[in-house]
Structure 1
């Protein structure tokens, strides 16, 4: 409820607008209210130019009449405090200003000039965006229009949303324009669609879509029905991402579109692409009503495939507890082992993503707490790696095997050490985790902490009895000192040396700690190791000796350090050397 004093203040501000400028101010306010995000002055200039045009099809872009610099001054003059500009973006003075204008539209105050119903605003924004995208010379890069196309990004990304929120009648009125925009084989589509795709799915290549795929993706029911009335040829055909129309509609939450597609014969079991099937897509998107529709229509609740393996795992990963409960009530296999996907099972997915409530639901419903497989091996390791303290405690209280082996990090303690989660490290140690357990990417927990630079965890592990000179059976670095030296962690190298690390321990990719530091160009660590007695002439490892490690990676400052310590084969060294191969920077997996 807006206080009457605020409404009166807003009305007083707008009453100062000259009568001959009211239509312009009204258009400006409508655009600000309708825009999905704050528009820049340059965007507003082009949008307002279209909005004020008297032509059904506005003039070519090069003839745009509104200068952005003049518009900013004009807005300040006409709108007063009602509108302000910050960092070239236009805002209403307060959220209550929007509510005030909408409330006025719903009242009987016929004398108020600036109100508009939301349906009318959506129609106007849709028309502006669609007309803009259909401008004759949009996309040209001639010298005559270097500043044009400011409204292109907004129009490309948001036109579909505005159309979706129009009334049915408005959609019919714009049918001709929309049909032109739905020509997915034309040059105009090739201009705007990549802009949209970059905004909604930057991690995927721009696909080739039919008009039906696009209409389903957008949730434009009238276009879907119109296309299917003429041709159903693409109804059960995937686009170049492997995704079917019904999957796009399910993913994006377009309930009515899903129903239309199913009524027209869409294959509810169609499998392919990133999202596997319609049920998994809806579960991923959090659209419980669509999930229920699909289940009522016979969707296979345990169908395998797609990024998440199955619908239950998708809902668990994304944190949609209501959908998790729906799926379990309808018979989803709580312990299904997904053929694909990082997480192998629902409990591991929920644990990795930190969804406490879902973890509890799954455990109460009988999820196997120690199920093996997937990237992290088990649920406890998944939670430990991502730092979810509460879930770690829940799993341990419910009987998770604290020393279970497997997965990327070998065990939960190494996973927590890798992630830098000192509280979880302490919880695990207090509950009996094997501090020197072997396996996984780094060989053991201490080496993981050393490589990743987590000095607090290194100290915790050493205080609790970690073997400082343990030789890892796996991993590049063989021991903690070599891992820290390779990672460039000066403080940890000092800690390890002070605690008695064997400075000349052999093995691993680089043979010893000094070679690891030299290969990566860590001069301070190389100096420290040499001062503490590292064998400058030790043989072995990837490069055979420290001088080769430095010179093959062009670390000439390291070569100079080694020369000062009288490296045995420096007489054969010519400075500088031609470029040779560089060492890998090691590995890093979050």
Structure 2
């Protein structure tokens, strides 16, 4: 480690220390780099670089160090010899520790301007006076916007040191980490506990990654490398590997670090970070809750200092916040600044609650720009997720509730979600819920019903604040439960104070307006004119200031001020009418897409939209792409706005064209869709929703039609074809919104999904929601057009494909070997089912996990189609298993009515009756018995109905079959026990005794080879166990060992599907009925003996490796009755043997 100090000539010199123990006390600098202006190690050693801007930072650091009584300091730019890769690697791996050991850390904020302080004051006196003042509002906004908070490396520089002090560009002290912690917390989202030095291991992996989510680094790998200290990881730097590979290496190191910690240190970590966090992550993925923090941060950035302070002093607000549990409703006219005001309120409540774990704030912003944030159900899911994050442990009642819906496999209905929300709210002494822009919710009736339901809970710990326009339906409902004194109208005289601050500040800050602010008289004229016309409407004031930016002379300025439009409608009409004739077609396309896109669009995507034409010969012309994507802002001016990408927790390499462009305000979209626009001069911009969706759908298809060459598009080409991902993902959704299939659209879609072209293959390669995107096996997995069209409900497309000779009975591997009629039946497309039957589709054709068309219709709960298919002579009995499995009583009765056999043998549990028993469906058990189901049935393994009832049924079901205890089970000694694995047909497995070998091409991805024991474990075995010895395992291959209660999907590893648990060799993860693994144990391979068992007395599954217990998990009611041993293999070469224990195990239990 090298440190800086002054020599006798007051010149900076470097002193090197080879041993950390000998390093003297030192200070350390944190700053943002300026390209080409930082002094390097070589320059400092040679005495050069003094003319660079960075030299002044070095001098500042040394001088501040001396003022604080220290002799040495460290500055990254010159204390590391970056020409040595070894030294750079060592330095980056040591960086967190170096910052942590520093006596003081000085943060130099080069973009925060000077603070007015009295002259000729000693440094110490100046610091004391500033410390007393705390954060000054004169520089708070600049502090919040500082680039320092956006850089990747500065995260550890904020967290690691105990003492962090902030200085502005004039080297004046602003405050320290302690005095500014609430502001820092607000800006960064980092918990107060972390800022105060709580051990980072107390925070989950997900939490720590989220702190860096919005930060950027110049080199993409550095975003990952900057997190090494945050996770206490050391690993080599491999610049050029890319961020994805670097992230994979980091996650692997994190997992292995957790495994290697001594048990005394990992007890609490594992109980929270490994189990609870994994469980929370599964719930989070299931909830798929949108993150409202991006809306909050955007609103904060738009806010001027002191905006909304008048409301914080409002009696109703103060009482709502501090004492009474109640509702408060803020309403105001369009464009009056409700969302920005809410950001002030939200920040105030967050600061009020501070670090108090008993006070919790959750919030949601409804947003017309983002479909994910217009939905009531997703709002509830977001609130639930935010509350779960604040729980130190997931409440048992909540995990039980989610488990009852089989996490990840069933969608929670809104009523169930409200029940969850109700339960979680009661876990905290005080809850604040803040909801913005109720009027921007797409299903307001449902939203208002939810709010009404919540009001009936009468929870004394619940405080709710709402904002919206004053619209009749909202007012009618809210008046029923919001007290009149808690309904606050944002009157113009109150909002005008905030608008005045905004106008004044913008005239000083806006580089295109500041020229007018120099003349005090002219500045006051602008302020007075804007304020006279605003009448409480922020949005109007913003648009007028935007218009003044274009004025080049005083005369032009005064003409513009004299002719300002009186209303927001007239303002929009003027903006649209001023768009040039050449730019008008671009503006129409851009505004159409921004008004109806299914997700926010990036600047790069919008720049390609203008290159799509649908007139004459529809085409995408790459030469028509906007050369400068930022011209979008020039074309549409005040109607659109730009903001950074909404991150989801994963890092993205910084690219300006990835910034999101949206309509600037909800009122813009309203005006474009209103009849009012047709009465002005901007009528060409009038829009109708259905027509817009049709044009966007066609545009997406036309865009995808450019991919006509087999190898034109790889998975990494989204940077060049920016609109490819959106077009491939959403063209169908826009098509559904139109509910029409025009002639041009039909032909374009046919071209897109034609088997003779590679166009559709390329579009799926870009966005494939149904399965892996493996280039090597892509052609074998590609969806057949007929199946795709049948699934998506494209009736005319199906008709055209049949006319062209499509095989109506073919199976699509990409859709789990399903037939087209199965897919149409599953999703309720009656017209397509009829069309396929008319053209010879086999109603009883079997394929994949759906079984046949009737089973698919039962699974999709489509009674009309069930009767239609039965009339077409579909086999009825196998569908009965599906109905019972889905616990669908009405469907079960319907099938029994049509002659389904109550004794039908099939399904994963043996027969229809056993399926009802396993599901604990008492009503269906009785219904089946009433229809002749045989209670004395016995299967080929020796299991009887009474045994299944005893093992899996409820007390009520046991009573039905007269089974009260283990001793009452007759025939239990005659159950067969497992002795070998059964091998699927065509699996190319060589069997010698209990030794199994397979040799396949290592590039083959699917199918997985599943081997299940010939018999389940006997009901007599209280401890069930088997082991496998691995003799050969190809590189990159995966081996899974586990237990299942049913037949397995051929494409699933053990543990991925329902009723299975598995431990995998390649990751060491445990998979519990999910494709998402949880950290469990070490990886394993050649020479290892791994085992899997179930202990009924201890109610647990357990796994072993070479005689050592890896871990266990509670059984609960996860598996149902019979338990089969399973080994699954994926990708390539294997040789292993299994042992079920007749002669003892390699490692005795």
Q: TM-score, normalised by structure 2?
A: 0.31
Other-structure match for 1:554: none
- Which of these two proteins has the greater Rg computed from alpha carbons? 2
In structure 1, C-alpha distance between the alignment counterparts of 2:669 and 2:889, rounded to whole Å: 33
Q: Is the 8 A contact 1:384 1:415 kept in 2?
A: no
Task: Let me know the Cα RMSD of the aligned residues.
Answer: 5.5
**1:65 counterpart residue number:** 626
- CA offsets, 1:399-435, max 9 Å, x none? 474646678565599799x99xxxxxxxxxxxxxxxx
Which residue pairs with 2:769 in the alignment? 199
- 1:322–1:172 Cα change, 3 Å: farther
CA contact (8 A) 2:863 2:891 kept: yes
Structure with the largest fraction of strand: 2
In structure 1, what is the equivalent of residue 957 of structure 2?
Answer: 395
C-alpha contact (below 8 Å) 1:40/1:90 kept by paired residues:
yes
Partners of 1:381 and 1:66 in 2: CA distance: 73
Partner of 1:342: 908
Please tell me whether residue 256 in structure 1 is matched to residue 799 in structure 2. no
Question: Aligned partners of 2:628, 2:950: CA distance in 1, in Å?
Answer: 57
SS in 1 for 2:807: coil
Distance in 2 separating the partners of 1:73 and 1:109: 22
Q: Which has the higher helix share?
A: 1
Equivalent runs, 1:498-513 vs 2, <5 Å: none
Of 1092, 1097, 1110, the residue aligned with 1:446 is 1097
Please give the TM-score of this superposition, normalised by the length of structure 1.
0.55
C-alpha offsets along residues 488-543 of structure 1, whole Å, 9 cap, x if unaligned?
579xxxxxxxxxxxxxxxxxxxxxxxxxxxxxxxxxxxxxxxxxxxxxxxxx9627
Alignment CA distance shift 1:98-1:238 (3 Å): farther
Aligned equivalents of 2:712 and 2:614: distance in 1?
A: 21
- Encode CA deviations 1:139-193: one digit per residue, 9 max, x unaligned: 6469x9872233323322333444355454x421223322311311322232123
Question: Paired residue for 1:49, among 610, 622, 627?
Answer: 610
Aligned match of 1:465: none
The alignment status of 1:132 with 2:703, answered yes or no, reads yes
Task: State the SS of the aligned residue for 1:260.
Answer: helix
1:486 corresponds to 2:1120? no
Query: Partner of 1:78 in structure 2?
Result: 639
1:150 aligns with 2:716: no
**C-alpha separation between the residues in 2 aligned to 1:255 and 1:97?**
40
Residue by residue over 1:3-42, the C-alpha shift from the partner in whole angstroms, topping out at 9 and shown as x without a partner, is: 874599899767644114687676456435644x424425
Q: Structure 2 CA distance, aligned partners of 1:28 and 1:383?
A: 63
Residue among 177, 185, 189 paired with 2:748: 177
* Displacement after TM superposition at 1:221 (Å): 1.3
Contact preservation (8 Å) 1:216, 1:246? yes
Tell me the residue number matched to 1:229: 803
CA drift at 1:275 = 2.7
Alignment check: 8 A CA contact 1:243 1:273 kept: yes
- The CA deviation at 1:130 is 0.5
Specify which of 887, 898, 906 is matched with residue 330 of structure 1.
Answer: 898
Report the Cα distance in structure 2 between the residues aligned to 1:85 and 1:381, rounded to whole angstroms: 58
- Which deviations, in whole Å up to 9, do the C-alpha atoms of 1:104-151 show, x marking residues without a partner? 56x798449676444313312321220111125786469x98722333
Partners in 2 of 1:75 and 1:376 — Cα distance? 75
| SS of residue paired to 2:796 | helix
| Cα displacement (A) at 1:79 | 4.0
CA distance 1:189–1:23, change in 2 (3 Å): closer
* Equivalence map 1:66-465=2 (5 Å): 77-79=638-640, 86-87=646-647, 110-111=678-679, 116-135=687-706, 140=712, 147-168=719-740, 170-195=741-766, 198-202=768-772, 207=781, 210-231=784-805, 234-240=807-813, 242-302=817-877, 310-318=878-886, 320-338=888-906, 341-349=907-915, 392-399=954-961, 401=963, 403=966, 408=1016, 410=1018, 442=1093, 444-446=1095-1097, 449=1100, 451=1102
Separation in 2 of the partners of 1:172 and 1:248? 25
Q: Deviation per CA, 1:455-486: give whole Å up to 9, x if none.
A: xxxxxxxxxxxxxxxxxxxxx99xxxx98x52
Contact 1:384 1:413 in 2 (8 A): no
Contact 1:250 1:279 in 2 (8 A): yes
Structure 1 residues 296 and 119 mapped into 2: Cα distance closer, same or farther (>3 Å)? farther
Give the whole-Å Cα distance in 2 for the aligned partners of 1:91 and 1:320.
45
CA drift of 1:343 comes to 2.5
Q: Which secondary structure state, in structure 2, belongs to the residue aligned with residue 199 of structure 1?
A: coil
- Measure how far apart 1:202 and its partner are: 4.9
Give the whole-Å Cα distance in 1 for the aligned partners of 2:857 and 2:959: 33
Task: Report if aligned partners of 2:640, 2:663 keep a CA contact under 8 Å in 1.
Answer: no
Higher mean C-alpha deviation, range 205-214 or range 5-14: 5-14
Give a deviation string over 1:550-571, Cα, whole Å, max 9, x none: xxxxxxxxxxxxxxxxxxxxxx
Question: Following the alignment from structure 1 to structure 2, what is the Cα–Cα distance between the partners of residues 394 and 97?
Answer: 60
Q: Is the CA contact (8 Å cut-off) linking 1:295 and 1:301 kept in structure 2?
A: yes
Residue 566 of structure 1 is matched in structure 2 by: none
User: Does the residue aligned with 1:129 lie in a helix, a strand or coil?
Assistant: helix
CA gap 1:5/1:63 in 2 versus in 1, 3 angstroms: same
Deviations 1:244-290 (A, max 9, x none): 33223223332111111112232222334443321112222333322
- Residue 171 of structure 1 contacts residue 222 of structure 1 at CA under 8 Å; is this kept in 2? no
Distance, in Å, in 1 between the alignment partners of 2:1145 and 2:810 is: 54
Aligned partner of residue 282 in structure 1, secondary structure:
helix
Gapped runs of 5+ residues in structure 1?
Answer: 303-309, 420-440, 453-475, 491-539, 545-585
3-state SS of paired residue (2:954): helix
CA distance in 2, matches of 1:288, 1:395: 28
Deviations 1:306-337 (A, max 9, x none): xxxx2222234345554334223322223311
Name the count of aligned residue pairs.
426
Q: 2-side partners of 1:261 and 1:185: how far apart?
A: 22
Long gaps (5+) in structure 2: 1-443, 446-467, 473-535, 541-566, 648-658, 976-1014, 1025-1041, 1044-1091, 1114-1143
